[in-house]
Copies of this chain bind each other. A is one copy, B any other.
């Protein structure tokens, strides 16, 4: 079953790349994005470095340069190519990177056909989850890159996640009440989870009401039209600075063409659908919107406790919680330990998932995190009052 899961995950990454030209595999449009080629290679390198070189006695690495070229942030695995220059690495070619993938696949599948210890299975499962994370990044990074091309290129004509509507009828805004008391949060059970979800523990919550649905583009346009972007008292101080320095006055990818809001999507440029849920907003925008509404965002624990009562998975939902360690959190030894802990400052937690999140990847205890100014994820707003 792990073998099938491995195969499906690896194939899905390549399926996501099917609509690309070779040219599309190359650019790195910003420090925080990576080229598709890099995602393809880096996820393979993870399996090679963390598993094959460690647990296959006679394994020969595909190319000794790849560790250097396709390491991401694992400082313990040696020198790495400068993060901001991933876009200049034209060699190896895309074709060679696919050969690399298949070479790694063959060796991992050979391992899986034999008898392997539970700890190695756990690492393969980690590698699969790691690759799923990169699948979503591959799409969001690609969208960012293509959006900078003035001709608005189409990735796939039927790929338009930003068109998502709320699952339930929006006519009546529904509020769900959670009573105060002690609750348990954090991952439970033996299934896979990341280290940052572990350490199930008690928290005390005050009573709150949480919206059953996400904020729509229509509601967000009201905020824009109420001078939301030019009224400083809705904004966090850092947000106000960010907005002014970067001349932000709408969500990422939005542009006003002759008085009508449009947005760039992976299916090309489309009119904004006012019934669809808002996307590509920063924490600063989510916070300002909530202030304007005289409401607030949920904490990550409020979200987790309430999450069984509403549907989620259309947008990553900004919470008001900074990303920090759970009680008893400890960093694993070695390179795997660099996965999560070292990012626990200056980042905000997002909960839920998005239409670009790989199937079965997220869960109620899943903690995604980004710096508060980032807009390039499919991020949205759920209100609490």
Binding site for B on A (CB under 8 A): 21-27, 29, 37, 65, 68-69, 73, 75-76, 81, 85, 87-91, 93-94, 145-146, 148-151, 153, 180, 182, 201-204, 206, 232-233, 235-240, 283-284, 287, 291, 296, 320-322, 324-325, 327-328, 331, 337-338, 342-346, 348, 372
Contact A346 B149 (CB under 8 A): no
- Residues on the B chain within 8 Å of A327, using CB: 206
Select one of B22, B76, B89, B206 contacting A201, CB under 8 A. Answer: B206
Q: Which interface residue of A25, A87, A325 has the most chain B CB atoms within 10 A?
A: A87
Contact B233 A76 (CB under 8 A): yes
- Given A87-B87, A291-B331, 7 more A-B residue pairs with CB atoms under 8 Å apart are A27-B87, A27-B88, A65-B151, A238-B343, A320-B324, A322-B324, A346-B346
Select one of B90, B145, B331 contacting A153, CB under 8 A. Answer: B90
Measured in the bound complex, the distance between the Cα atoms of B75 and A331 in whole Å is 43
Q: A342-B236, A344-B236 are in contact. Are A23 and B93 (CB under 8 A)?
A: yes
Q: A343-B236, A346-B346 are in contact. Are A90 and B204 (CB under 8 A)?
A: no
- Residues on the B chain within 8 Å of A90, using CB: 21, 23-24, 26-27, 145-146, 149, 153
- Residues on the B chain within 8 Å of A23, using CB: 22-23, 25-26, 37, 90-91, 93-94
For the complex formed, measure the closest distance between the CB of A301 and the CB atoms of chain B, giving whole angstroms: 10
Contact A149 B88 (CB under 8 A): yes
Measured in the bound complex, the distance between the Cα atoms of B90 and A90 in whole Å is 13
Judged by DSSP, the binding face of A is: mixed
For the complex formed, measure the closest distance between the CB of A314 and the CB atoms of chain B, giving whole angstroms: 25
Contact B206 A148 (CB under 8 A): no
Q: A73 — nearest CB in chain B belongs to which residue?
A: B237
Contact B238 A283 (CB under 8 A): no
For the complex formed, measure the closest distance between the CB of A98 and the CB atoms of chain B, giving whole angstroms: 13
For the complex formed, measure the closest distance between the CB of A383 and the CB atoms of chain B, giving whole angstroms: 15
Select one of B88, B148, B235 contacting A88, CB under 8 A. Answer: B148
For the complex formed, measure the closest distance between the CB of A43 and the CB atoms of chain B, giving whole angstroms: 19
Measured in the bound complex, the distance between the Cα atoms of B88 and A338 in whole Å is 31
A-B contact pairs, 22 of them (CB 8 A): A21-B93, A22-B22, A22-B23, A23-B23, A23-B25, A23-B93, A24-B90, A69-B150, A69-B151, A76-B233, A87-B87, A91-B146, A91-B149, A201-B206, A203-B203, A206-B328, A233-B338, A236-B344, A283-B345, A287-B345, A322-B322, A322-B345
